[in-house]
Amino acid sequence: MLEYITQIDFQILDFIQNNLRCDVLDKIMVFLSLIGEGGIVWFAVSIPMLFFKKTRVCGIVMILSMGISLFLGEFLLKNIIGRVRPCNINNEIEMLVKRPKSFSFPSGHTSSSFASATTIFQWNKKYGVLALVLAALIGFSRLYNYVHFPTDVLAGMLFGVFISLLTYHLVKRYKLDNKIENLRFSRKG
C-alpha cells in the first residue's frame, strides 16, 4: 500500500516538474518556501498582534499552535516515521532550494502555515481566507521545489488545522482568552 502511495506521489511531483516549472514560478516558489521556513512569515504576523488587546489572543494561539506543531511534527513524527524526501530518492531533479537534512513526513512548512492560517481564520474570516491561500501556496511550493511528497503536504495541512483547532478549543474551554487579552507587555498602566 505504501509503495502504491509513493508511486502516486512521484507521479504528481513529476507532473509538476514536467508541466509547471518555469523561470517565473521558480522564483515565486523559492520565495514562498523561504518565508515558510521556521514559520517566519507567521511569526512576523503574530508578534505584532501581541501588542493589541483585540488581536492578542489570536497571536498567542498562533504561536502556541506553531510551537506544538513544530515539536510534535518536526521532533517526534518525522523521526518516528523516517520518510526519505523525494529529492533524496530522485537525485536527477535540478534543485531550486537546498536539500533539507530532516525527514519528509509531515511537511513542517505546511503544518505551521495551516496552524497559523486556521487560527487567523477562527478570529477573522476575511484575513483568514487570505492566510489560508498563503498557507496553501507555501505547501504547494514544497511540492514544486521537490522537497516533499504530496502526502507529506496533505498530512502537514491536516496536522496544522487539527493543532490550531485543538489549541483554540483549549483556550476557550479554560477561558484563557480573557486572561490573555488582559496581559500587559509594558509597565504602563
Q: For the chain, what are the domain ranges?
A: 21-181
The answer on pLDDT for 173 being more than 70 is yes
Average pLDDT over residues 50-63: 91
pLDDT band, very low/low/confident/very high, at 127 (cuts 50, 70, 90): very high
Q: What percentage of the chain exceeds 70 in pLDDT?
A: 93
Instruction: Answer whether 46's CB lies under 8 Å from 40's CB.
Output: no
Q: How many CB atoms lie within 10 A of CB 124?
A: 15
Termini Cα distance of the chain? 61
Angstrom distance (rounded) from CA 115 to CA 71: 13
100 pLDDT band, cuts 50/70/90, is: very high
Peptide bond into 100 cis (omega under 30): no
Q: What is the pLDDT of residue 1?
A: 84
Are residues 41 and 133 in contact, defined by beta-carbon separation less than 8 angstroms? Answer: no
Q: Cell digits for 25?
A: 514560478
pLDDT digits (tens, 9 = 90+) for 3-55: 999 999 999 999 999 999 999 999 999 999 999 998 999 999 999 999 988 89
Any residues with CB less than 8 A from the CB of 81 and at least 6 apart, and which?
103, 105
Torsion on CA atoms 47, 53, 55, 60, rounded to nearest 10: 50
What pLDDT band is residue 188 in, cutting at 50, 70 and 90? low
The Cα-based distances of 80 to 5, 76, 103, 126, 146 in angstroms read 19, 6, 10, 37, 22
Q: How many C-beta neighbours within 10 Å does residue 19 have?
A: 8
pLDDT at 189: 43
Mean pLDDT of 67-76: 94
CB–CB of 103/79 below 8 Å? yes
Banded pLDDT at 179 (limits 50, 70, 90)? low
pLDDT of residue 184: 59
Report the pLDDT averaged over residues 126-134: 98
What confidence score (pLDDT) does residue 30 get? Answer: 98
**CA 14, CA 32: separation in Å to the nearest integer?**
20
Are 132 and 139 within 8 A, CB to CB?
no
Annotation: CATH topology of 21-181: Vanadium-containing Chloroperoxidase; domain 2 (1.10.606)
183 vs 167, higher pLDDT: 167
Neighbouring C-alpha atoms within 13 Å toward the C-beta of 59 = 17
